[in-house]
Amino acid sequence: MKRQSPLLTAALCIAALSMTACDRDILPGADLEMSGFVTCSTNDNGHIIMIEDDMGQKFTVNDSRYVLGRNTKSRRICTYVIGQDSSAAIRSLYIPKCNAATDIGSIEQERHIFDPVGIESAYIGGGYLNVVMTIMTHDETSYRQHYLEAVRLDSADSLVISFIHNANGDVPVYSKKMYFCIPLSAYSLQKNDAVFLKYRNYSEEDCCLKYVYR
Protein backbone atom coordinates (compact mmCIF):
# COMPACT_ATOMS: atom_id res chain seq x y z
CA MET A 1 0.00 0.00 0.00
CA LYS A 2 1.45 3.34 -0.99
CA ARG A 3 1.84 5.95 1.76
CA GLN A 4 2.63 9.60 1.18
CA SER A 5 5.01 11.34 3.58
CA PRO A 6 3.69 14.23 5.73
CA LEU A 7 6.25 16.60 4.21
CA LEU A 8 5.16 15.75 0.68
CA THR A 9 1.51 16.08 1.66
CA ALA A 10 2.15 19.51 3.14
CA ALA A 11 3.99 20.58 0.02
CA LEU A 12 1.10 19.50 -2.18
CA CYS A 13 -1.38 21.39 -0.02
CA ILE A 14 0.68 24.54 -0.15
CA ALA A 15 1.13 24.28 -3.91
CA ALA A 16 -2.55 23.69 -4.59
CA LEU A 17 -4.42 25.80 -2.09
CA SER A 18 -2.24 28.32 -0.29
CA MET A 19 -1.84 31.92 -1.26
CA THR A 20 -0.90 32.77 -4.80
CA ALA A 21 0.60 36.12 -5.54
CA CYS A 22 -0.65 38.18 -8.43
CA ASP A 23 1.45 38.20 -11.56
CA ARG A 24 3.62 40.95 -10.19
CA ASP A 25 6.14 41.53 -7.40
CA ILE A 26 4.47 41.91 -4.00
CA LEU A 27 5.66 45.16 -2.45
CA PRO A 28 5.28 46.06 1.24
CA GLY A 29 1.76 47.36 1.82
CA ALA A 30 0.47 46.06 -1.52
CA ASP A 31 -2.76 44.09 -1.85
CA LEU A 32 -2.36 40.32 -1.95
CA GLU A 33 -4.36 37.77 -3.93
CA MET A 34 -5.23 34.50 -2.21
CA SER A 35 -6.98 31.32 -3.31
CA GLY A 36 -8.20 28.34 -1.32
CA PHE A 37 -10.89 26.83 0.88
CA VAL A 38 -12.62 29.33 3.17
CA THR A 39 -15.65 29.53 5.43
CA CYS A 40 -18.09 32.28 4.46
CA SER A 41 -20.36 34.02 6.99
CA THR A 42 -23.50 35.79 5.79
CA ASN A 43 -25.91 38.44 7.09
CA ASP A 44 -29.72 38.65 7.18
CA ASN A 45 -29.79 39.11 3.39
CA GLY A 46 -27.55 36.11 2.69
CA HIS A 47 -24.70 38.37 1.55
CA ILE A 48 -21.16 37.44 2.52
CA ILE A 49 -19.84 39.68 5.28
CA MET A 50 -16.76 37.72 6.34
CA ILE A 51 -14.48 34.97 5.08
CA GLU A 52 -12.18 32.92 7.29
CA ASP A 53 -9.28 30.91 5.95
CA ASP A 54 -8.13 27.64 7.47
CA MET A 55 -5.40 29.36 9.46
CA GLY A 56 -8.04 31.32 11.38
CA GLN A 57 -7.53 34.64 9.63
CA LYS A 58 -10.76 36.60 9.14
CA PHE A 59 -11.44 39.24 6.50
CA THR A 60 -14.47 41.49 6.21
CA VAL A 61 -16.36 41.50 2.92
CA ASN A 62 -18.73 44.04 1.38
CA ASP A 63 -20.19 42.22 -1.60
CA SER A 64 -23.84 41.77 -2.57
CA ARG A 65 -23.24 39.76 -5.76
CA TYR A 66 -23.50 36.41 -3.98
CA VAL A 67 -26.61 35.32 -2.08
CA LEU A 68 -26.05 32.31 0.17
CA GLY A 69 -28.13 31.11 3.11
CA ARG A 70 -29.17 33.79 5.59
CA ASN A 71 -27.01 34.08 8.74
CA THR A 72 -25.09 30.93 7.91
CA LYS A 73 -21.55 29.67 7.59
CA SER A 74 -20.65 27.60 4.54
CA ARG A 75 -17.60 26.28 2.74
CA ARG A 76 -16.43 27.75 -0.52
CA ILE A 77 -13.33 27.84 -2.69
CA CYS A 78 -12.54 31.49 -3.05
CA THR A 79 -10.10 33.71 -4.89
CA TYR A 80 -9.90 37.05 -3.14
CA VAL A 81 -7.71 40.10 -2.75
CA ILE A 82 -6.78 41.21 0.76
CA GLY A 83 -6.68 44.95 1.29
CA GLN A 84 -4.46 46.80 3.75
CA ASP A 85 -7.46 47.22 6.08
CA SER A 86 -7.97 43.41 6.45
CA SER A 87 -10.92 43.49 4.08
CA ALA A 88 -11.28 41.07 1.18
CA ALA A 89 -12.56 41.65 -2.34
CA ILE A 90 -13.89 38.42 -3.84
CA ARG A 91 -12.71 37.61 -7.36
CA SER A 92 -14.41 34.23 -7.73
CA LEU A 93 -16.40 31.76 -5.65
CA TYR A 94 -16.87 28.03 -6.20
CA ILE A 95 -19.02 25.55 -4.28
CA PRO A 96 -17.23 22.32 -3.27
CA LYS A 97 -19.09 19.14 -2.42
CA CYS A 98 -19.65 19.46 1.31
CA ASN A 99 -21.25 16.37 2.81
CA ALA A 100 -20.48 13.98 5.62
CA ALA A 101 -19.06 10.65 4.51
CA THR A 102 -21.71 7.95 4.22
CA ASP A 103 -21.09 4.73 6.18
CA ILE A 104 -20.11 2.11 3.62
CA GLY A 105 -22.33 -0.48 5.35
CA SER A 106 -25.45 1.52 4.47
CA ILE A 107 -24.67 1.39 0.73
CA GLU A 108 -25.76 -1.57 -1.40
CA GLN A 109 -22.90 -3.93 -2.23
CA GLU A 110 -23.39 -3.50 -5.97
CA ARG A 111 -22.59 0.18 -5.61
CA HIS A 112 -19.20 -0.52 -4.01
CA ILE A 113 -17.25 0.56 -7.09
CA PHE A 114 -13.85 2.17 -6.56
CA ASP A 115 -12.67 3.35 -9.96
CA PRO A 116 -9.38 5.28 -9.85
CA VAL A 117 -9.09 8.90 -8.76
CA GLY A 118 -6.17 11.27 -8.42
CA ILE A 119 -5.61 13.14 -5.16
CA GLU A 120 -3.91 16.42 -5.96
CA SER A 121 -3.93 17.62 -2.36
CA ALA A 122 -5.73 16.96 0.91
CA TYR A 123 -5.47 18.42 4.39
CA ILE A 124 -7.45 18.91 7.59
CA GLY A 125 -8.45 22.51 8.20
CA GLY A 126 -11.46 24.53 9.28
CA GLY A 127 -12.99 21.41 10.79
CA TYR A 128 -13.01 19.57 7.45
CA LEU A 129 -11.01 17.07 5.47
CA ASN A 130 -10.46 19.17 2.34
CA VAL A 131 -9.68 17.28 -0.84
CA VAL A 132 -8.72 18.41 -4.32
CA MET A 133 -9.29 15.44 -6.61
CA THR A 134 -8.87 14.79 -10.31
CA ILE A 135 -10.90 12.32 -12.33
CA MET A 136 -10.18 11.33 -15.92
CA THR A 137 -13.00 11.89 -18.39
CA HIS A 138 -13.52 11.85 -22.15
CA ASP A 139 -14.01 15.62 -22.39
CA GLU A 140 -14.96 18.67 -20.33
CA THR A 141 -18.57 17.56 -19.87
CA SER A 142 -18.53 13.77 -19.66
CA TYR A 143 -17.55 13.90 -15.98
CA ARG A 144 -21.27 14.38 -15.31
CA GLN A 145 -21.85 10.69 -15.96
CA HIS A 146 -19.46 9.78 -13.15
CA TYR A 147 -20.77 8.94 -9.68
CA LEU A 148 -18.66 10.18 -6.75
CA GLU A 149 -19.48 9.82 -3.07
CA ALA A 150 -17.37 10.19 0.06
CA VAL A 151 -17.70 7.10 2.28
CA ARG A 152 -16.53 6.03 5.69
CA LEU A 153 -14.96 2.58 5.62
CA ASP A 154 -15.48 0.10 8.45
CA SER A 155 -12.78 0.50 11.10
CA ALA A 156 -12.91 -0.21 14.80
CA ASP A 157 -10.48 2.46 15.97
CA SER A 158 -9.83 4.95 13.14
CA LEU A 159 -11.68 7.27 10.82
CA VAL A 160 -11.05 5.99 7.30
CA ILE A 161 -12.44 7.99 4.38
CA SER A 162 -12.61 6.82 0.78
CA PHE A 163 -14.57 7.65 -2.37
CA ILE A 164 -16.97 5.45 -4.23
CA HIS A 165 -16.27 6.31 -7.87
CA ASN A 166 -18.17 4.83 -10.76
CA ALA A 167 -16.83 6.22 -14.05
CA ASN A 168 -19.52 4.34 -15.99
CA GLY A 169 -17.01 3.29 -18.63
CA ASP A 170 -15.92 6.85 -19.45
CA VAL A 171 -12.73 7.03 -21.54
CA PRO A 172 -9.88 8.60 -19.51
CA VAL A 173 -8.60 11.45 -21.67
CA TYR A 174 -9.33 14.77 -19.95
CA SER A 175 -8.46 15.63 -16.33
CA LYS A 176 -11.26 17.26 -14.34
CA LYS A 177 -10.80 18.70 -10.85
CA MET A 178 -13.33 17.98 -8.12
CA TYR A 179 -13.42 19.57 -4.67
CA PHE A 180 -14.66 18.03 -1.40
CA CYS A 181 -15.02 19.35 2.15
CA ILE A 182 -15.90 16.49 4.49
CA PRO A 183 -17.04 17.77 7.93
CA LEU A 184 -15.29 16.02 10.81
CA SER A 185 -17.44 17.33 13.66
CA ALA A 186 -19.63 14.21 13.70
CA TYR A 187 -16.80 11.80 14.49
CA SER A 188 -15.84 12.78 18.08
CA LEU A 189 -12.22 13.15 17.11
CA GLN A 190 -9.65 14.08 19.75
CA LYS A 191 -6.52 16.12 19.20
CA ASN A 192 -3.80 14.09 17.42
CA ASP A 193 -6.23 11.40 16.27
CA ALA A 194 -5.38 9.95 12.87
CA VAL A 195 -7.61 10.31 9.83
CA PHE A 196 -6.90 8.08 6.84
CA LEU A 197 -7.74 8.68 3.19
CA LYS A 198 -7.77 5.55 1.04
CA TYR A 199 -8.14 5.45 -2.73
CA ARG A 200 -6.93 3.76 -5.91
CA ASN A 201 -4.88 5.95 -8.23
CA TYR A 202 -4.64 5.86 -12.01
CA SER A 203 -1.58 3.61 -11.81
CA GLU A 204 -3.92 1.05 -10.18
CA GLU A 205 -2.09 1.41 -6.87
CA ASP A 206 -3.94 1.30 -3.56
CA CYS A 207 -2.95 4.42 -1.63
CA CYS A 208 -3.42 5.39 2.00
CA LEU A 209 -2.71 8.91 3.24
CA LYS A 210 -2.60 9.74 6.95
CA TYR A 211 -3.54 13.08 8.50
CA VAL A 212 -3.47 14.24 12.11
CA TYR A 213 -6.49 16.00 13.57
CA ARG A 214 -5.52 19.22 15.37
pLDDT (tens digit, 9 = 90+) per residue, 185-204?
Answer: 989 899 999 999 999 999 99
- What's the distance, Cα to Cα, between the start and end of the chain in Å? 25
Residue 23 has pLDDT above 70, yes or no: no
Q: How many angstroms separate the CA atoms of 47 and 65, rounded?
A: 8
Mean pLDDT over 156-164 rounds to 94
Q: How far from chain centre, in Å, is Cα 135?
A: 14
Q: Which of 159, 20, 12 is nearest to 79 (CA)?
A: 20
Provide the whole-model pTM.
0.83
pLDDT at position 186, please? 85
Q: How many angstroms separate the CA atoms of 102 and 154, rounded?
A: 11
Taking only the tens place, the pLDDT of each residue in 70-83 is 999 999 999 999 99
Q: How many angstroms separate the CA atoms of 134 and 153, rounded?
A: 21
Express as a percent the part of the chain with pLDDT over 70.
86
Question: Between the CA atoms of 134, 57, 127 and 113, what dihedral angle is there, to the nearest 10 degrees?
Answer: 0
Residue 99, classed as helix, strand or coil, is: coil
